Chains A and B, each alone.
Chain A
Amino acid sequence: MFRLITWVLGLGIACALFGYFVILPQLGREKSDIDVTALKGDPERGAYVLRMAGCVTCHSDGQGEATFLAGGPALKTPFGTFYGPNITPDPDHGIGRMTNQEFFDAVTAGLRPDGTHYFPAFPYASYVKMDGQDVVDLKAYLDTVPAVSKAARRHEIAWPFSDRSLVGGWKLLAIKARSIVPDAGQDNAWNRGMYLVEGAGHCGECHTDRNLLGLPRGPAHGGSPKGSFSSGAPSIAGAKSVIADWTHEDITFYLENGLKPDGDVSGGKMTQVIDFATSHLTGDDLDAIARYLLSLQTPATH
């Protein structure tokens, strides 16, 4: 009897070890098969992509050259506190040594140059849908910002969430679609809006609810309660949407200025999204986002 228990236990441990060391490292390694090495980056477009994708919020702490993209403020999540690292071209503390392909895999697949995983606090689960040219342009721009020699702060996360190899399993469950499939039945503005909202703009990272494992739960952009990653973002789509009666101009004006139709102003993390990202967008892109968001206001017609 005792021998049997030892055997079963031993087998269990062996399976767990095999799973952890052999199977787990293989999970979530999937990346786009786009070869970006042939693409040439345009830094001017890249400066705009930086705003579209809201990278500044998490990678800059304070204003001015000395802090621009040199590391972000504390990002508190239910899994611990993360710090967006230095992404200036500094070779030691920044991303100066990253090639275009490595950068592309980091942003769109959450893979580090050594093949291990980035934590999903870096919202690659949305950026997975970003266009290859956009990402290469972004890198070309990042190469031009002043390098800041400042070490990244260490994340404050507890085991097991601190284990990067577990992220592979998470990716497998969380990342369903790897690109945006344009809807031929909609016009260009709508499709552009979908790209900006679902991809680069990563609006769902806050506006979609998440379960205990950080996996999207409930309707897309259906709102998330206090205590979630976003510290609570209202529903902006479907049945419970708080913007159901907003006009097209109400949406564009809000994303540009932070003023709501009722005269109140945006609060919480949305203020940073507006300050660092959406207020820098062109009128056409704001129109595109409004077009797309408005189409999400009538449930069950889509």
Chain B
Amino acid sequence: MTTIRSKFLFTGLAAVLLSASLPVLANEAYVGYRQKIMAAVGGHAGAIGAIVKSKLPEQDAIAALAEAVAKTADTVPAAFSHALHEGATDAKPEIWDNMDDFLTLNDAMRKASLALADAARKGDPAVVKKAMRDFSKSCGACHRSYRKPKEESYKQRR
């Protein structure tokens, strides 16, 4: 009887402890997760840049890569839903005071990448050039308010 009770107690206690610690662990992992999302966005942007600047005969790939950025944008709202702004992150706390604005800027990036995909398919160089500009501006528009500048970055060891 006592052993059963203490077993109950033990599992209960363990469950309480687990449920208290698990979300914390998961939360922390969101920092790395969302940084990888951004790195993916950057990877696609870098590939598009490589095609455009060196005039590689891969024009069709521009649309595919830009659409991948749009798809990735869909993962941003959930990835940034946990207010984590301390430690190894460059996310500014203001994100969670202005979530609507942050999400609007994310949507602006999504739209700009779709516009770039569209322009790339149609192939008018002047339109592609402008769409490319708007696309890269959409990154800066969010970073300006919500990403720490390079000199304050956790990556900086200057």
Contact = CB atoms under 8 A, between A and B. Distances in A.
B43 A263 contact: yes
A268 B49 CA distance: 21
B5 interface: no
Given A231-B149, A231-B151, A232-B151, A265 B136 contact: yes
A271 B136 CA distance: 10
A191 interface: no
B2 interface: no
Interface residues of A, number: 25
Interface string B100-140: 00000000000000000000000000000000110011011
A256 interface: yes
A149 interface: no
Given A252-B53, A253-B53, A271-B140, A261 B46 contact: yes
Interface residues of B, number: 27
B140 A266 contact: yes
A263 B132 contact: no
B42 A267 contact: no
A71 to B, nearest CB: 20
A232 B150 contact: yes
A258 interface: yes
A261 B45 CA distance: 9
Contacts of A265: 42, 45, 136, 139-140, 143
Interface in A241-279: 249-250, 252-253, 256-268, 271, 275, 279
Nearest to A223: B158
Dominant SS among interface residues on chain B: helix
A154 interface: no
B52 interface: yes
B49 A259 contact: yes
Contacts of B92: none
Nearest to B141: A271
19 contacts: A225-B158, A226-B151, A226-B158, A232-B149, A232-B151, A252-B53, A253-B52, A257-B49, A261-B49, A262-B42, A262-B46, A263-B39, A263-B47, A263-B49, A265-B136, A265-B139, A266-B140, A267-B143, A275-B137
Given A226-B158, A258-B137, A261-B50, 18 more contacts: A231-B149, A249-B54, A252-B53, A253-B52, A253-B53, A258-B140, A263-B39, A263-B42, A263-B43, A264-B42, A265-B139, A265-B143, A266-B140, A267-B140, A267-B143, A267-B144, A267-B147, A267-B150
